[in-house]
Amino acid sequence: KSNAIVYAKGGATVGVGAGQMSRVNSSRIAAWKAQDAARVAGNADSWAIGSVVASDAFFPFADGLMAAADAGATAIIQPGGSVRDD
């Protein structure tokens, strides 16, 4: 499975999570990578804060969306198609 999640901020990709069986884990991995990259660059705050998130497939449940929101994402784009889309 792919379950690719990308966090972007300021015109740059700041975190990528892919190849996971779980979209939640992909989101958490991408957020962790954004935090780690910020720390390496000398920033105390994660680059996931204030980011936007893109997913390669729909979110069948809210847990993946909540993981991105918990990381600080302010917007999420996904193709839709879940029976739970409202």
At residue 20, the 3 state secondary structure works out as: coil
- Helix axis angle, 23-40 to 63-71, nearest 10°: 10
- DSSP bridge partners of 13: 8
pLDDT tens-place string over residues 19-56: 899 999 999 999 999 999 999 999 999 999 999 999 99
The pairs formed by 76-79 with CB atoms below 8 angstroms and a separation of 24 or more are: 76/52, 77/52, 77/53, 78/54, 79/55
Domains within the chain, CATH numbers bracketed:
5-77 (3.40.140.20)
Comparing CA positions, the residue from 30, 36, 42 lying closest to residue 3 is: 30
pLDDT band at 2 (very low <50, low <70, confident <90, very high): confident
